[in-house]
Chain A
Amino acid sequence: MAEPTVPIVWYLILSVALFSIGGLGVLVRRNAIVVFMCVELMLNAANLAFISFARLHGDMSGHIYVFLVMAVAAAEVSVGLAIIIAVFRTRSTINVDELTDMSG
C-alpha cells in the first residue's frame, strides 16, 4: 500500500471548509430543501473528518462510524422531506422566512 501522498491535515481542512459552507448555507438560503441539503453537507463534512482521523490512527472503526452516520442521515432525510412536503401542502410555500406563526 502506497503512503498517502496528500497529508491528513488537508483532508481536515477540506472537512472544516465543507462544514462551514454547509453552516453558512443554513443561515442564508431561504428554500427549506436547500437549507436541508446544507445540513446534510455538514454531516458529510463530519464523515470526512471521521475517515481522515481513522486513517490517521490506522483504526478501521472510523470507517464504520461513517456507515452509521450515513444510515442515520438517510433516515433523517426521509423524515425531513416528508415534513417539508407536509408544510408545502398546508402553506403552499417552503420559504423558511414565512414560517413565523409562533414567536415570542
Chain B
Amino acid sequence: MQYLNALTAILPVVVLLGTAVILLMLEVFSLGKDRIWAANFSLVGLAVAFYFAMKGLGAEPQALFAGPGKSAPIIADAFGNLAAAVMLAGAFVAVLLSPEYIKNARCSSGEYYALILFSVVGMIVMAMAGDLITFFLGLEVMSIGVYVLTGIRRNDLRASEAALKYLLMGAFATGFLLMGIAFIYGATGTVALPELARQMVAPVGGAPILVTGLVLLLVGVAFKVAAVPFHLWAPDVYEGAPTPITGFMAVGVKAAAFVALVRIVAVGFANSEESAVVIPFISVIAYLTIIVGNLLAIVQRNVKRMLAYSSVSHAGYALIGVVALARGEESAGAAVLFYLTAYTFMTLGAFGVLVFLERKEGGAESERFGAFAGMGYRHPALGVAMSVFMVALAGMPPTGGFFGKLYIFSSAINAGEMGLVFAGILGSIISVYYYLRVIVSFYMVDVPDAGPLPTATRSRHLTAGLIIATAGVLTLGIFPNQWIELGKLAFKSLQLG
C-alpha cells in the first residue's frame, strides 16, 4: 500500500495528529474532570512521536505524496526527522511546564494541548517541506495554533492584546511571504526546491522579480524568527502570552523557521548566483539582530521581556550560521541545528523557572528583577538550574550554549565571515551583563525574611521539565560531539534527496 508506506515515513506527524484529535474528542465528550490527564496524554503522544523521529534518522530519504509527474511536497529524510526530534523535545518540555501555569491562571482547557500538538505538526511539515507551498502550509498550521495559544487566557488584557498584535502582524507578514513565493513561482515556474535550484542556475527572465521574490520570502521567515527590523512584535507578544507558550513560541517557531530556511538555502539556493544576491541582506539582518537585540535586552526591567529580547538576539547568532551556509560552508548546517537544540533547552528552562516564580495575581510585577531577590537561597536547586540556563544563554562553557556559538562562529570563520564573528562575540560579551544580572538578583541581593515561595510549587511536571532542560543544556555542553555528528549526518541527507 503506497499510502500506508507514505504514512509510515511520517509517523511522527501521524502520531501527533492522532493524539491531538483524540484529545479533542475526549475533551468534548468530557471524560475525566482532572485536566492533568490531557497533559499526560499529550506527553505520551509527543514521546511516541519523538521515538519515531529518532528511528527515522536511519531511514533512506523518501519523497512522499508526489502527484503523477510532480515533485514531492514532503521529503522525509534524516534532516527533517532530526529537526522534528528537536521540536518534539521542545514541545515536550513546554507541555511539562504547562499544568502548573494553567492551574494558576485558571484558563483550563483541553484544547490547549491539542493546539500545541497541531502547531508541532505544522513545524514538522515545515522541516520536511519539499516545496515552498508546503512550507507555507506548515508555517500557517503552526502559526494559527500559536495565535490561539497566545490568546488562550481570553479574559486577560495583556494576553488578548498580544494575540491580536501577533495575529495582525503575522498575517501581514504572511502576505509578504506569499507574494514572495508567487514571484519566485513567476520567475522560475516552480516552487519545488530541487527544481528551483536548477531553474535559478539557468538564465531566467525577469531577474528583478526573482530577487524581489527571494527577498520577500526571507522577510517572511525573518518575521517568524523575530529578526531585526522585523522583531517589533516579539517582545509584546512574548510578554503577553502565557509563559509556557512564550517558551514554546520562542523555541518551536524559531527552530521550525530556521530549519526550513536551512533546507531552502541548502537545497533551493544551491550554487546559484541569483540567490547569492540576497546574502548581504541576510548578513545585515544578522548584524542588526545581534546588536539591537542585545542592546535592548540590557535596558529591560521585566525578566520575561528581557528573555524576549534575548531570544531576538539568539536568532541573530543562528542567522550567522545561515549566512555561512549560503556561502557554501557545509558545516554551518549542522552548526545551526546544534545551536537550535541548545537554544531550545536553555530558553525553555529559563521560562520554566519563570513559571515557577510567577505569582498568581502578580501580573507584570512578579516578573521584575527585584521580585527574584534572594531566590537562590530560598530554593537552592532552582537557583542552580537558573544559573545553568543563564550561563548557557550567555554562551559560557561547559554548556550547550557555548558550543552552539563555537560551532556557528567557526563555520562562519571557514566561510570568511570574520565581521559577523566579531559582532557575534561582541554581542555575547554584552549579553553576559544582563544574563548575569538574573543570577545576581538570585544570589547577591539581600534575602528578605523568607516566606514560602510565591506559588504552591510542588508540581511534578514542572520539576521534570526543569530537570530535562538542565540535563539537556549540560549534556550538550559535555558531550557535544554526538549531537553535532548527528547534525552532520542529517545535513548530508539533504544533498542526497
In the complex, B239 has a CB within 8 A of chain A: yes
Could you say which of A39, A65, A91 contacts B172, with CB atoms under 8 Å apart? A39
Could you say which of A19, A39, A84, A104 contacts B164, with CB atoms under 8 Å apart? A84
Could you say which of A45, A62, A86, A87 contacts B179, with CB atoms under 8 Å apart? A45
B:248-286 near A, CB below 8 Å: none
B:147-166 near A, CB below 8 Å: 147-148, 151, 154-158, 160-165
**Interface flags, B170-205, vs A, CB<8A=1, else 0:** 011011101101110110010100000000000000
**B156 contacts which chain A residues (CB < 8 A)?**
90
**A43 contacts which chain B residues (CB < 8 A)?**
171, 174-175, 178
Is the beta-carbon distance between B175 and A22 smaller than 8 angstroms?
yes
**Interface flags, B227-249, vs A, CB<8A=1, else 0:** 00000000110011000000000
**B215 contacts which chain A residues (CB < 8 A)?**
none
Could you say which of A23, A50, A65, A83 contacts B167, with CB atoms under 8 Å apart? A83
**A61 contacts which chain B residues (CB < 8 A)?**
70, 191
Binding site of B, secondary structure by majority: helix, strand, loop or mixed?
A: helix
Is the beta-carbon distance between B168 and A26 smaller than 8 angstroms?
yes
Query: In the bound complex, what is the Cα–Cα distance between A91 and B159 (angstroms)?
Result: 12
In the complex, B133 has a CB within 8 A of chain A: yes
Given the known inter-chain contacts A22-B175, A79-B144, A96-B168, please indicate yes or no for A50 contacting B160, CB distance below 8 A.
no
Could you say which of B70, B161, B179, B240 contacts A19, with CB atoms under 8 Å apart? B179
In the complex, B330 has a CB within 8 A of chain A: no
Given the known inter-chain contacts A42-B172, A79-B167, A83-B151, please indicate yes or no for A102 contacting B158, CB distance below 8 A.
yes
Shortest distance between the CB of A93 and any CB in chain B (Å): 11
Is the beta-carbon distance between B137 and A36 smaller than 8 angstroms?
no
Could you say which of B144, B175, B176, B181 contacts A75, with CB atoms under 8 Å apart? B144
The total of chain A residues at the interface (CB under 8 A) is 46
Is the beta-carbon distance between B133 and A68 smaller than 8 angstroms?
yes
Query: In the bound complex, what is the Cα–Cα distance between A30 and B154 (angstroms)?
Result: 22
**A15 contacts which chain B residues (CB < 8 A)?**
182
Is the beta-carbon distance between B178 and A46 smaller than 8 angstroms?
yes
Is the beta-carbon distance between B175 and A46 smaller than 8 angstroms?
yes
Query: In the bound complex, what is the Cα–Cα distance between A36 and B140 (angstroms)?
Result: 16
Is the beta-carbon distance between A99 and B140 smaller than 8 angstroms?
no
Q: Which residue of chain B has its CB nearest to the CB of A62?
A: B185
Is the beta-carbon distance between B175 and A53 smaller than 8 angstroms?
no
Is the beta-carbon distance between B161 and A39 smaller than 8 angstroms?
no
Shortest distance between the CB of A91 and any CB in chain B (Å): 7
Is the beta-carbon distance between A50 and B164 smaller than 8 angstroms?
no
Query: In the bound complex, what is the Cα–Cα distance between A15 and B212 (angstroms)?
Result: 15
**B133 contacts which chain A residues (CB < 8 A)?**
65, 68
Shortest distance between the CB of A30 and any CB in chain B (Å): 12
Query: In the bound complex, what is the Cα–Cα distance between A84 and B166 (angstroms)?
Result: 12
A:42-64 near B, CB below 8 Å: 42-43, 45-46, 49-50, 52-53, 56-57, 59, 61-62
**Interface flags, A67-83, vs B, CB<8A=1, else 0:** 01100100110011011
Query: In the bound complex, what is the Cα–Cα distance between A72 and B137 (angstroms)?
Result: 7
Is the beta-carbon distance between B160 and A86 smaller than 8 angstroms?
yes
Given the known inter-chain contacts A39-B168, A79-B144, please indicate yes or no for A49 contacting B182, CB distance below 8 A.
yes
Given the known inter-chain contacts A43-B178, A102-B158, please indicate yes or no for A76 contacting B186, CB distance below 8 A.
no
Given the known inter-chain contacts A42-B175, A42-B179, please indicate yes or no for A83 contacting B164, CB distance below 8 A.
yes
Given the known inter-chain contacts A53-B186, A61-B70, A79-B167, please indicate yes or no for A99 contacting B175, CB distance below 8 A.
no
Query: In the bound complex, what is the Cα–Cα distance between A30 and B140 (angstroms)?
Result: 25
Given the known inter-chain contacts A39-B172, A69-B178, A83-B151, please indicate yes or no for A102 contacting B185, CB distance below 8 A.
no
Q: Which residue of chain A has its CB nearest to the CB of B165?
A: A99
**B186 contacts which chain A residues (CB < 8 A)?**
12, 49, 52-53, 56
Query: In the bound complex, what is the Cα–Cα distance between A49 and B446 (angstroms)?
Result: 63
Shortest distance between the CB of B118 and any CB in chain A (Å): 11
In the complex, A103 has a CB within 8 A of chain B: yes
Query: In the bound complex, what is the Cα–Cα distance between A76 and B136 (angstroms)?
Result: 13
**B158 contacts which chain A residues (CB < 8 A)?**
101-102
**A19, A52, A84, A86: residue with the most chain B Cβ atoms closer than 10 Å:** A86
Query: In the bound complex, what is the Cα–Cα distance between A82 and B111 (angstroms)?
Result: 15
Q: Which residue of chain A has its CB nearest to the CB of B179?
A: A46
Is the beta-carbon distance between A32 and B168 smaller than 8 angstroms?
yes
A–B complex contacts, Cβ < 8 Å, 29 sampled: A12-B186, A15-B182, A19-B179, A32-B164, A39-B171, A40-B171, A43-B178, A45-B175, A46-B181, A46-B182, A49-B179, A53-B182, A53-B185, A53-B186, A56-B186, A59-B189, A65-B191, A68-B137, A72-B137, A72-B140, A76-B171, A79-B148, A83-B148, A83-B163, A90-B156, A99-B165, A101-B161, A102-B235, A104-B300
Known contacts A40-B171, A76-B144, A83-B151; 8 further A-B pairs (Cβ under 8 A): A39-B174, A61-B191, A62-B185, A72-B136, A83-B164, A87-B161, A99-B161, A104-B305
Q: Report B's interface with A, CB cutoff 8 A.
A: 70, 133, 136-137, 140, 144, 147-148, 151, 154-158, 160-165, 167-168, 171-172, 174-176, 178-179, 181-183, 185-186, 189, 191, 235-236, 239-240, 300, 305
Q: Report A's interface with B, CB cutoff 8 A.
A: 12, 15, 19, 22-23, 26, 32, 35-36, 39-40, 42-43, 45-46, 49-50, 52-53, 56-57, 59, 61-62, 65, 68-69, 72, 75-76, 79-80, 82-84, 86-87, 89-91, 96, 99, 101-104
